[in-house]
Homo-oligomer: A and B are copies of this chain.
Amino acid sequence: MDTFMKAAIEEAKQGLQEGGIPIGSVLVYRDRIIGTGHNRRVQAGSVVLHGEIDALENAGRQPAAVYRECILYTTLSPCSMCAGAVLLYGIPKVVIGENKTFVGEEELLRARGVKVEVLDEPLCIDLMSRFIKASPELWNEDIGV
């Protein structure tokens, strides 16, 4: 499996172990992970720390030139907030683990020139499918439903 997606999945699994929503993300700059994160709605009572946002936050303040060479890996198709963060910082590429359990703003990203790759990774689908079945209310809260 892709090394960076593997790291994002490890983040998702860590979130699950903490009692949270299993979505993980890593921000990669020139083939090196500079930020890792996972959804922290439950753990931190946060409504904004989706996995992608958490990874961006943990990467710290970076110059625009760094973001312009980054790839954001996320286990799940990014919601409008996370896609918006990608657009804000001009991140040129997003690699998505799966979009079977949730389809985010892939079209918006593509329309704005972001390269979007979907890996259709069974491990990601499995993690989210089980979680959504077990905790539908928590999942709905996370996507504003």
A residues bordering B, Cβ < 8 Å?
41, 45-48, 53, 56-57, 59-64, 67, 79-85, 87-90, 105, 108, 140-141, 143-145
CB distance from A78 to the nearest CB of B (A): 9
CB distance from A43 to the nearest CB of B (A): 12
- Chain A interface helix/strand/loop/mixed: helix
Q: Which residues of B contact A45 (CB under 8 A)?
A: 60-61
The one of B41, B61, B62 in contact with A61, judged by C-beta atoms closer than 8 angstroms, is B41
Q: How far, in angstroms, from A145 to B64 measured CA to CA in the complex?
A: 6
The one of B62, B81, B144 in contact with A81, judged by C-beta atoms closer than 8 angstroms, is B81
In chain B, what residue has the closest Cβ to A53? B48
